[in-house]
Amino acid sequence: MKVLVANLGSTSFKYRLYDLPSETQLARGGIDRIGMAASACFVEINGQKQESTLPVADHAAAVGMCLEQLTHPQHGCLKSVEEVAAIGFKAVFAGNMSGVRVVTDELLKKMEDLSDIAPAHNPMYAKAMRQLRSAFPKLPLVAALETGFHETIPPENRLYAIPYEWSEEFEIKRWGYHGASHRYLNTRMVQLLGRGDLKVITCHLGGSNSLCAARDGKSQATSMGMSPQTGLLHNNRVGDFDPYALPILLRKTGRTLEQLLEDLSSKGGLLGLSGVSQDARDVEEAAAKGNARAQLALDVFVASIRQYLGAYLTVLGGADAIVFSAGIGENSSLIRAAVCKNMEWAGIELDLAKNSSLPRGSESRISTDSSRVQVWVVPTNEELVVARQTVEAIGKK
């Protein structure tokens, strides 16, 4: 069965085509600058990459183009569009409508109603899904919500101490995100360690960041809360923050609540603290050259990861493995070393030579042979999880 997995940005569309159950990736591609005069497109089928520049009006046109590429008589890998069983989306938030679902009007309305929680994603996904439903009415669309993996978090780790009815009535709780990534990493650790009864702390550190504690492959706690703006600091988003600071900011800056929320989610994080960049590579480089604010940003980032790590060792009663993944987790030996520093008391011993010599994109154990807790770097594969879940969802339907 062929499944297309779509990853949407406000002006971009990236995709991978999988064949399941073999899980073979047949093609990948992307279109950037959708809606502009010249959109940049690429497609890679059987290792052959082709690039072009042409105007692509909207996400439906982008999907149309992708399907043309995949069915191209010479370069394509499909005989016809009918071979595509469904399109799966790594959708973000629809409150109680979590898990994996075939896209319906009710789901789209819920995503739109809850746009405040994921303003960069929900409106855009809902709009693109609406376009796709009218352009390709026979093609099932499936939303794999990022909150799905965290449905197993018990109430004591999930509830805010607000009037209880608010949690029920307004769905205000720690939902957790990056579900596809944490799910993939946990499944992969079962394969790598050869057993399922594992206590694993996964660290997804990239543009946005979260830690997750899982027992037997089931999420028990995660650092992102009601919104993906919370928990650890992010590239330009604030992370955990006290809402009681808002009245002061409202009075002193003269900005509106909407403007301040936008500031906190675009001028905070590594960017806000360092004043240098939202990209961890730039911040590391500036810190190495002696920029004190850049060093401070890294220190705050590492300290917050270590606080959650300590908490999750307690939640799980120790850990079998700690896993680093995503752009920073897979590539920054500096951050990994700083997170694991002086953790021998908890059975965590990094092999510094292995940590610093890891080839890009590799999957490897970076703890010493005697380390009680194994430390791994595992490249995440969120698209594969969405492809698997899409097959499950259309199977159920």
Q: Judged by CB under 6 A, which of 186, 208, 220, 227 binds ligand ADP?
A: 208
Establish if 235 lies at the interface with ligand ADP (CB under 6 A).
yes
Pick the stretch among 101-109, 193-201, 326-334, 343-351 that binds ligand ADP (CB under 6 A).
326-334
**282 to 301, contacts with ligand ADP by CB under 6 A?**
284
Q: Judged by CB under 6 A, which of 35, 99, 207, 275 binds ligand ADP?
A: 207
Q: How far is the CB of 206 from ligand ADP (least distance, A)?
A: 2
Closest CB to ligand ADP: residue number:
327
For ligand ADP, the closer of residues 229 and 332 by Cβ is: 332
Pick the stretch among 16-24, 85-93, 123-131, 274-282 that binds ligand ADP (CB under 6 A).
274-282
Number of residues lying near ligand ADP (CB under 6 A): 13
Q: Judged by CB under 6 A, which of 83, 279, 344, 392 binds ligand ADP?
A: 279
**331 to 360, contacts with ligand ADP by CB under 6 A?**
331-332
Pick the stretch among 30-38, 130-138, 327-335, 364-372 that binds ligand ADP (CB under 6 A).
327-335
Establish if 269 lies at the interface with ligand ADP (CB under 6 A).
no
- Annotate the chain with three-state secondary structure: CEEEEEEEECCEEEEEEEECCCCEEEEEEEEECCCCCCEEEEEEECCEEEEEEECCCCHHHHHHHHHHHHCCCCCCCCCCHHHEEEEEECCCCCCCCCCEEECCHHHHHHHHHCCCCCCCCHHHHHHHHHHHHHHCCCCCEEEECCCHHHHHCCHHHHCCCCCHHHHHHHCCCCCCCCHHHHHHHHHHHHHHHCCCCCEEEEEEECCCEEEEEEECCEEEEECCCCCCCCCCCCCCCCCCCCHHHHHHHHHHHCCCHHHHHHHHCCCCHHHHHHCCCCCHHHHHHHHHCCCHHHHHHHHHHHHHHHHHHHHHHHHHCCCCEEEEEHHHHHHCHHHHHHHCCCCHHHCECECHHHHHCCCCCCCEECECCCCCEEEEECCCCHHHHHHHHHHHHHHHC
For ligand ADP, the closer of residues 336 and 388 by Cβ is: 336
Establish if 274 lies at the interface with ligand ADP (CB under 6 A).
no
Establish if 236 lies at the interface with ligand ADP (CB under 6 A).
no
Establish if 206 lies at the interface with ligand ADP (CB under 6 A).
yes
**142 to 201, contacts with ligand ADP by CB under 6 A?**
none
Q: Judged by CB under 6 A, which of 9, 35, 327, 347 binds ligand ADP?
A: 327
For ligand ADP, the closer of residues 14 and 173 by Cβ is: 14
Binding-site ranges for ligand ADP (CB under 6 A)? 206-208, 235, 279-281, 284, 326-328, 331-332
